[in-house]
Amino acid sequence: MSQALRDLFADLPYLLGGHLLLSLSAVLIGVLISVPFGALATRHDRLRGPLLTVAGLIQTIPGLALLALMVPLLGGTIGFLPAFLALTLYSVLPMVRNTVTGIMDVDPAVTEAARGMGMTSRQTLLGVELPLAAPVIIAGIRTATVWVVGMATLATPVGAPSLGQYIFLGLQTRNWTAVIFGCVFSAILAVVLDQLIRALEISATTRNKRMGILTLSALALVAIGGIAPFVAERFGERPTGGARAGDLDASGAPVGLSSARTVSIGSKGFTEQYILSAYLESELRAEGADVSARPNMGSTILFDALRSDTVDVCVDYTGTIWATLMKRAEPIGRSEMLIEVAHYLKKEHGVICVGPLGFENAYALAMRKDRAAELGIRSIADLARHAEGLTIGGDPEVFGRSEWKRVRAAYGLQAARTRGMDSTFMYDAVRDGQVDVITAYSTDGRIAAYDLLVLKDPKQAFPPYDAILLVAPGASKLPGLLDALRPLVNRISNTAMREANRLVDLEGKAPAVAADSLRAKR
């Protein structure tokens, strides 16, 4: 087995366990909500319509959106809770629908006999209707389970550990093995649960108690066996530092941080952030800290998590905070922006800006050199002349941001068509001529590798984007944490970051390897 595959398998017990815990608890609580409500709806005609409509409406919300919406609804909480709530809501429809159908389809002669013999409504429900509707209700649980296991892969951006981590990480770092790996195990999990619940459905239909008990035991075994490694890793005794992090000098006396709680490092979902996350992890481990990573979060979700102390440390960019949080539009110098941003973060959110990491990862418009030469384009101003008929590709976030609106207005690019795509694909897209221009990241190794021209921005419409190291309000009081982070300020050059990105994006190295290259260059 190759090293890459071994690395994937190493994370499997933890991620599979997290996935299983998330899915099963969502379905279980979903059952506890759906069956009573469904049963109640068969007793009250006026409840039935609204209940089924609401459950159906929830279903029409795209899964990823439902998950993402839970984060602000919970005041910025990330991790298990928002994912669990979203999946629970999502599981309700098939189960409510089948409970209602199952009970309403019970032979009216049977329910009339029950009433006529002197059963109360409750006795009829529990003793006659629910047992007879059981196969249909279990079929609903089965559908819900398969949906939820699939949708749990989308829990990664809100910070819940699941098999989705393989898929998102693989997508961002062009590691297709990881993507397939995540899909395969998610599918295996779905099939296993589907078949077990199907056996339960059959034993309910045939009223085979022995088979039912056996199947339930098997389900419990799968659940406990699957979840145990996750619980052990998450809440159990950690092995001593050296076993987890190879670069920690176990004999060296760890300073201050070792006694503090686990420090969680948040990161967004693109290559540079994975590398920086790994970089911060190994730096903090070397200082004796216990570290956990919360990768793949959306930009605003990450900031909410930081603000609410769900995440302790992360890297963000001055221009991003300037535009999306401070809602400022006017151009300003690099150092002035840095000062204003740091001041704003402290004053408004209690977030501490430790300092710049030293490099800038700006948004920049880039296109193929040969195509630029052919059209005589050197700057964004030149681009405006050809705006009609041009397609600009960019990550899904950029076209909604105020910087883009400013650039578009400043240079008159309104006529150009925009096409949102995952950032991992846009460089190939511009190289292959599928789009004409992209909103590149200035530290991306593929700009040089694909022979792309970064267009000049004479009006300075794009703000500066210095990478800054941020610490959550609560974590800033952890003894030793700020001291451990301060030495990292101004230590990564633009060239070093671009090289690290190139190692992952073009050479297929793991983010941790690229992080080591950053440490070596310091």
Partner 1 sequence: MLDLSHVRKSYDGGLTHAVKDVSFAAEPGELIVLLGGSGCGKTTTLKMINRLVEPSGGTITIDGQDILGLDPVALRRTIGYVIQGAGLFPHMTIAENVAVVPKLLGWEPARIRPRVDTLLDLVGLEPGDFAGRLPRELSGGQVQRVGVARALAAEPAIMLLDEPFGALDPVTRDSIQSEFIRIQSEVKFAAVLVTHDMTEALLMATRIVVIRDGLVAQIGTPEELLNHPADDYIETLISTPRRQAERLDALLPGGGA
Any idea which residue has 């994975």 for tokens?
Answer: 274
Taking CB under 8 A as the rule, does residue 116 contact partner 1? yes
- Kindly state the number of chain residues that form the binding site for partner 1, as judged by CB under 8 A: 17
Taking CB under 8 A as the rule, does residue 132 contact partner 1? yes
d(CA 504, CA 517): 11
Q: 316: helix, coil or strand?
A: strand
Q: How far is the CB of 135 from partner 1 (least distance, A)?
A: 10
d(CA 444, CA 513): 17
Cα–Cα separations (whole angstroms), residue 11 to 16, 23, 248? 8, 18, 20
Taking CB under 8 A as the rule, does residue 115 contact partner 1? yes
Taking CB under 8 A as the rule, does residue 253 contact partner 1? no
Choosing from 112, 249, 370, 483, the residue that interacts with partner 1 (CB under 8 A) is 112
User: Residues with Cβ < 8 Å from 459, sequence gap 6 or more?
Assistant: 331, 380, 381, 410, 411
CB nearer to partner 1: give 187 or 213: 213
Taking CB under 8 A as the rule, does residue 224 contact partner 1? no
Largest CA distance in the chain: 91
**Choices 128-136, 387-395, 469-477, 481-489 (CB under 8 A): range interacting with partner 1:** 128-136
CB nearer to partner 1: give 139 or 313: 139
Taking CB under 8 A as the rule, does residue 190 contact partner 1? no
**Choices 115-123, 238-246, 401-409, 460-468 (CB under 8 A): range interacting with partner 1:** 115-123
Taking CB under 8 A as the rule, does residue 220 contact partner 1? no
Q: How far is the CB of 108 from partner 1 (least distance, A)?
A: 9
Is the Cα torsion angle 172, 178, 180, 185 positive or negative in sign?
negative
**DSSP H or E run through 355:** strand 352-360
CB nearer to partner 1: give 115 or 456: 115
Q: Are 266 and 297 in contact (CB under 8 A)?
A: yes
d(CA 119, CA 134): 19
**Choices 126-134, 145-153, 402-410, 423-431 (CB under 8 A): range interacting with partner 1:** 126-134
Site for partner 1 in 427-456 (CB under 8 A): none
Q: How far is the CB of 103 from partner 1 (least distance, A)?
A: 14
As given in the structure block, the two tokens for residue 414 are 């309104």
Taking CB under 8 A as the rule, does residue 120 contact partner 1? yes
393 φ, ψ (degrees, to nearest 5): -95, 150
Site for partner 1 in 70-109 (CB under 8 A): 107, 109
d(CA 233, CA 260): 18
Q: Where on the chain is the footprint of partner 1 (CB under 8 A)?
A: 107, 109-110, 112-120, 123, 128, 131-132, 207
